[in-house]
Amino acid sequence: MHEGANGAERHAEPEATGSGVDQEFLALERELTVFLRRARASSGEMAREVHPDLESSAYGLLVRLEECGRQRATDLAGYIGVGKATMSRQLRALEDLGLIAREPDPADGRAWLVHLTDEGRARFRTVRDARRNRYVRQLKGWDPREVAELARLLHELNRSVER
């Protein structure tokens, strides 16, 4: 700690090349940057495999709908972290492609629930299964406990970002 001009203590800013903890966070940033770049590219490929006209950003909506079933557009927007206008545009595109459908929310006649169509579910599952098989091949040298630990740590990271 350092003493400020008025005599009060203030905390020093961490140095970018200082302690090991700083180095760990720099390494984390570097590895996440590479991981996210590859994930974006992979998401685009998977989206095109579901449908050639599907935007890569919409693939995450299919994942969420497959995992959670019927959802309100506002809930999807909140989960993905986009505004209502962006969500409406993406859902309209998915609906035009025949991958999702909307139905009135029985709990609130003013709201709509979005769900995968049978075609959307079938296309999504085919791509998801192919991706899972790629992970199995890429991580074949890993101990299954390491894969489980990686999944657990990524889950914790995602939960901390959601808070």
Q: What is the pLDDT of residues 55-75, one digit of tens each?
A: 888 888 999 999 999 999 999
- In a domain, residue 105? The reply is yes
- In a domain, residue 45? The reply is yes
Q: For residue 10, what are its two tokens?
A: 């203030």
- In a domain, residue 37? The reply is yes
Tell me: pLDDT of 33 over 50.
yes
Tally of domains within the chain: 1
Q: Looking at the DSSP assignment, which residues form a beta bridge with residue 114?
A: 71, 102
- In a domain, residue 7? The reply is no
pTM: 0.73
What is the rounded average pLDDT for all residues in the chain?
A: 86
Closest to 63 measured CA to CA, from 72, 75, 76: 76
Local confidence band at 161 (pLDDT 50, 70, 90 cut-offs): confident
* Helices vs. strands in the chain: H and E counts, helices first: 6, 5
- In a domain, residue 4? The reply is no
Q: What is the CATH number of the domain that holds 139?
A: 1.10.10.10
